[in-house]
Amino acid sequence: MTLTMKRVSKIFKDGPNEFKALNDVSLEVNSGEFVAVIGPSGSGKSTFLSTAGALLSPTGGSIEIDGQHVADLPDKQKTRLRLEKIGFVFQTANLIPYLNVTDQLHVINVMAKNKKRKGYEADLLQHFGLEHRTGNFPNELSGGERQRVAIARALVNEPDLILADEPTASLDSQRGREVVELIAAEIHERGKAGIMVTHDERVLDVCDRVLMIKDGQLVETETIR
């Protein structure tokens, strides 16, 4: 699986004014590779991740996920692509407050109309040490547990691409590192492609490559592995 972005731009308009959030961004991420993108607030990190994950359409350039051009897909096909190919991990876990841990995962399979993966839900929860929490609701979980549920939910559709948006933001340093190590292990061991945008430089050694985004432009800073 490969994510390929070629000369991608994203322009937001506010009346007569324009703001270029992404400026000629090119990137390729392959299976088994975990890439970190760092940068100051307002540099374009969230826009970059949302565009890579087909949540936003680029103004210019091309994006391919597993050889499929994303930008020109109808909205329904983009939704299907996200359900089948992409797993999102957000900084606040974004769990549904009225669903227990098991149902947080099950709802993804219901949306994808995929009955085959039902047994995989329990396997994932056990894998992440959450088998004793299956009936609990988000407000009954610790911050680290909520993020582990979020990672399991991101993986339940067996995606090819994992996108993580500031996954350590609401966690202390130890739990934050544990969460990033879990994401990295899934990417490396299961052959996923992964991107994480983050402010947390303490976890960059877990990643294979580190890139910086500044004023909407992407620059490779170092290769870790």
- pLDDT at position 11 is 94
Of 206, 178, 212, nearest in space to 194 by CA:
206
pLDDT digits (tens, 9 = 90+) for 4-35: 999 999 999 888 888 899 999 999 999 999 99
> What total of structural domains would you count in the chain?
1
Distance CA 102, CA 88 (A): 17
Q: How many C-beta atoms surround the C-beta of residue 170 within 10 A?
A: 17
Q: In the predicted model, what is the mean pLDDT of the chain?
A: 88
Q: Would you say 198 and 4 are in contact if contact means Cβ atoms under 8 Å apart?
A: no
Answer yes or no: is pLDDT of 2 > 80: yes
Model-wide pTM > 0.75? yes
- pLDDT at position 222 is 57
Answer yes or no: is pLDDT of 117 > 70: no
Domain carrying residue 171: 2-223
127 is written with which tokens? 């894998």
- pLDDT at position 72 is 82
pLDDT digits (tens, 9 = 90+) for 147-170: 889 888 988 888 899 999 988 887
Q: What is the percent of the chain where pLDDT is above 90?
A: 48
What CATH number is given to the structural domain containing 153?
A: 3.40.50.300
Beta bridge partners of 74: none
Tell me the pLDDT band of 174, cut-offs 50, 70 and 90: confident
The residue ranking higher by pLDDT, 164 or 83, is 164
Q: Mean pLDDT across the stretch 191-203?
A: 92
